[in-house]
A and B are shown apart, each in its own frame.
Chain A
C-alpha cells in the first residue's frame, strides 16, 4: 500500500518548502535551515509534548492556508502549530515578531542571574546564544532577582534553580526517557521551581540526560563542575559497548584527560541518542572508550574557536608579485633577536620577563634551563620531592 502522502506547501520568510502533514512550522523551518529557523528554549524534537512555554519561537502566520487565507490574529508558537497547505509564515521578515522575541528574551533574562563567568554551561548555553542574537544590550529590570539555594539532587547532578527558565524539558525527559520521575515543578508563577519532593535524589539510571537537555546551567554535571571551561576542552566522538544504552557519546577532553562525557548533539543542540548514567559519570578514562575522531561542531562557535580542524595554508603570492623571482631573505630575525633564542614550545607556562633575562629564580622558564633541556616541570618536581634542597 504505497499510498502517496500529499505534501503540504508552506512558505516561511518567502522560502517555500514541501513537508508532510502534521509537521510543525518549526520543523518546516528547520528543513529549510539557516537564519529563518526560530530559536527554541523549551521545545525538544526528541521529546514529546515539549514546547509552547518559552515563546521564543513565536512567528506570525500571514495566511492560514489556501482554503482559509485569513491571517492568525495572534503570534503563534511555531513549535506547536502544525502547517497547513498554502500557509505563509513570517519570521525574521516581520518586525513585530522580532520585537516580541526581544521581549521574550528580556523576560527570560529577568530573573536569570547572568553569572556566565562562573557558570559551567557558558559557551554552550542556549540562553547565551539567544540573548546575544535577540536580546537588548542592557536590562531594564531594577529589582532584586529571585534566588534559590543550590541543591545536589543525587550524587551526580546539581540543581541551581536561580538559573532555571522553567522550560520543563527535564520534567519531560524524566517522564519519557528516565521512566521514573522524581522531580517536578513546585509552586507557581515567578516563584515556581524545579524541585524534588522534600530533597529526594534523582536515582534513575538514565536521569543524567536532564543535564544535556537543560538549555541553561540549572542542571549541571557534578563530576565536571568547575573542572574546565567548555571552550578549552576538545570534543571527541567515542563509543563503548554499554549494556544500558547505545554507548555513543561525546568526550570532552583536555590533553589526555576525559573531563566530561555527554550525549552527541545535532546542529540544533538536541541529543541524538540518550546515554546512561554509567557512560556519563563513571567512564572517565580514555581506555574505556573507542575514539572515533574529533567532533565537527557547527553551531557553538565559542567551542570551535580554539580548535583548528581545517587548516588552510594561505596562497603564496610573493613569487607572482615579484614577477617570477623567488623571495630572498633580507634579515634573519633569529640572528639578531633574543626572543627567538628561546624555544617557546618547551617552556612550562607562558613566557615572562624572566624567561628572557636569565633570572635564575624563574626556574623552568630560564633561558639556560631551557637550553639545557630541563625546562619541563622542574617547579613541580621541586615541590613534590622532599629530597630537593
Chain B
C-alpha cells in the first residue's frame, strides 16, 4: 500500500466543505507557510524535488526560482485547470472532491511567489466545478485565509476562477495566458517565457492543479521528507487516471515505486484486464505520449521491469520508451485496433490545432485524412511512409508542443504497430470485419483461466 498524500482524506464525507476540511488538518500548511519567508518556501519546494504534474515534468522549484522579480510590477500565479488531455481526469477529481486542497496550495504558492492576484483557469466543460471552487474560495475568505491581510502578515491575496471556452490548446501555458487576457487562445512565441513576461506582460508562473495541490503535503511534512517518497528524481506521489480495458478504472495515487505490471494487474490498482483478455498496448501518460506495445510496456528494452516513474517510463527514449506525461493511463486489450485509435487521436489534434503555424495546421488535417483512408480500407502502402514523413516534419517545427503531441502518437503507432497498418492496407475487407489482434507484442504474462 503506497503512501497517500493528496487523496489521504478524500474518502471523508463532505471533505468538500471548509469545516470538515479544517477539522481534518486543513489549512495547516498555510499557517506554517506564513511563518516562513517566501524564499524559504521556494527552497522547500526545490528540496522536495516536485516535478510539474501537467505533462512536461519540469521541476517546480526551479520554475519558481526563474520568476523575475522586478520592482513595482505585479507577479501572477495562474493555476492551469484546463485539463483537456484525452485520458486524463485527475484534476477534475481533485477539484471536485477536495477543492480546499487546491485553494490551500494556491494560497501557499501565492505567498511564496508574491502573487496578490491568482487565477484558476478552468476548462469550459468543467462548469459545475466552477461553482464548487467559488464556494470553496468564499469559505476560505470567510475564514480569513484569503482577502486582505491574511493571518495578520500583511499579505493580500485574491483567487479568481476563470472559465475557458473549451479549447485543448488553452492548456498550453502561453495560450492559456492569452485566453485569460481575453484574447484568442493562440500560443505565444517563446522567448520571452511567462516567468519574465506572462499575464498582462508581468512575470507569471503557470502550474498544474496537481502540482499546486502537492505544495500542501510538502509544507506539512517538509521538502526533504517528501523527497524520500519515490525513486530518484521521481519524488512524491502522482495521481494516475487509469482508464480503458481494466477492471477498475479511476484515480490512483501512486508513490512511484511500483512497476507498471503491478499497477495494471494488482487488485489494489487497476485490477487486471477484464473478460480474460490480454494486454495489447498502453498509453501511459495521456493521449500525446507515445503508445507502447505490451512487451515494451512491462519490460524496458534492456529487460528490466518498467516502473511507474518519470525516468523508467521514458527509458529507451522514443524508440522503445514513452513518457509519464499527465498521468492519463489508457490501457488497450487485444480487441482494440491501433489504427482506429490513432485515427481518433489524429482527428482530435486536427480539431484542436489553433491554426497559427503551418506544419500543425495543415499537417494534422492531412494525417487525419490518410489515417481515415487506411482505417476504412482505402489506404495504400505508400501512405504509411507518407504518414511517417508528415509527422517527422511537424515534430519540433511548431510554436507550441501541440504539434509534437499530434506527431508522437502517430509516430509511435507506426513504429511499434507497422504490421497492423500494413495488414489494414493489404486486407481492407477483413480489416473492416475484425481486428488485427495481438500479434507478437502481446504481454508475456499468461492470463488466468476465466472462472
Query: Which residues of A approach B to under 8 Å, CB–CB?
Result: 51-55, 58, 74-75, 77, 80, 82, 99-100, 103-104, 106-108, 110-111, 140-141, 143, 165-166, 168, 184-185, 187-192
Residues of B within 8 A of A108 (CB): 358, 362
Residues of B within 8 A of A188 (CB): 167, 169, 352-355
Task: Name which residue of chain A comes closest to B349, CB basis.
Answer: A189
Query: Which of A75, A104, A166 is B356 in contact with, Cβ under 8 Å?
Result: A166
Shortest CB distance A51–B (Å): 8
Query: Which of B167, B351, B353, B357 is A53 in contact with, Cβ under 8 Å?
Result: B357
Complex-state Cα separation, A132 to B102, whole angstroms: 55
Instruction: Tell me which residues from 355 to 369 in chain B have a Cβ below 8 Å from any Cβ of chain A.
Output: 355-359, 361-366, 369
Complex-state Cα separation, A101 to B110, whole angstroms: 43
Dominant secondary structure of chain B at its interface with chain A: helix
Q: Which 8 A-B pairs have the closest CB atoms?
A: A103-B393, A192-B355, A52-B189, A107-B362, A189-B353, A190-B365, A110-B362, A74-B396
Contact A189 B355 (CB under 8 A): yes
Shortest CB distance B187–A (Å): 10
From known contacts A53-B358, A188-B353, A188-B355, infer whether A100 and B399 are also in contact, taking CB-CB under 8 Å. no
From known contacts A55-B397, A190-B365, infer whether A165 and B358 are also in contact, taking CB-CB under 8 Å. yes
Contact B189 A80 (CB under 8 A): yes
* 0/1 string, B66-98, CB within 8 A of A gives 1: 000000000000000000000000000000000
The verdict on B350 contacting chain A, using a C-beta distance below 8 Å, is yes
Contact A55 B359 (CB under 8 A): yes
The verdict on B381 contacting chain A, using a C-beta distance below 8 Å, is no
Residues of A within 8 A of B396 (CB): 74-75
Contact B357 A141 (CB under 8 A): no
Contact A189 B364 (CB under 8 A): yes
Query: Which of B184, B350, B363, B369 is A107 in contact with, Cβ under 8 Å?
Result: B363
Contact B397 A58 (CB under 8 A): yes
Contact B355 A190 (CB under 8 A): yes
Contact B361 A75 (CB under 8 A): no
Shortest CB distance A302–B (Å): 24
Most chain A C-beta atoms within 10 Å of own C-beta, residue among B191, B355, B398: B355
Contact A185 B184 (CB under 8 A): yes
The verdict on B386 contacting chain A, using a C-beta distance below 8 Å, is yes
Query: Which of B189, B355, B389, B399 is A187 in contact with, Cβ under 8 Å?
Result: B355
Residues of A within 8 A of B352 (CB): 188-189
**Inter-chain CB contacts under 8 Å: number:** 89
From known contacts A80-B189, A140-B386, A141-B366, infer whether A166 and B355 are also in contact, taking CB-CB under 8 Å. yes
Contact B357 A55 (CB under 8 A): yes
A–B pairs, 6, beta carbons within 8 Å: A75-B396, A107-B358, A107-B366, A110-B366, A187-B355, A192-B361
Complex-state Cα separation, A177 to B91, whole angstroms: 44
Residues of B within 8 A of A168 (CB): 356
Complex-state Cα separation, A208 to B358, whole angstroms: 26
Instruction: Tell me which residues from 114 to 170 in chain B have a Cβ below 8 Å from any Cβ of chain A.
Output: 167, 169
* 0/1 string, B174-206, CB within 8 A of A gives 1: 000000000010000101000000000000000
Contact A189 B357 (CB under 8 A): no
Most chain A C-beta atoms within 10 Å of own C-beta, residue among B191, B357, B359, B361: B361
Contact B397 A52 (CB under 8 A): no
Complex-state Cα separation, A82 to B350, whole angstroms: 31
Residues of A within 8 A of B366 (CB): 107, 110, 141, 143
Residues of B within 8 A of A77 (CB): 189, 399
Contact A190 B364 (CB under 8 A): yes
Residues of B within 8 A of A190 (CB): 350, 353, 355, 361-362, 364-365
Shortest CB distance B361–A (Å): 5
Residues of B within 8 A of A103 (CB): 359, 389, 393, 397
Complex-state Cα separation, A170 to B389, whole angstroms: 32
Shortest CB distance B295–A (Å): 30
Contact A189 B189 (CB under 8 A): no
Most chain A C-beta atoms within 10 Å of own C-beta, residue among B169, B355, B362: B362
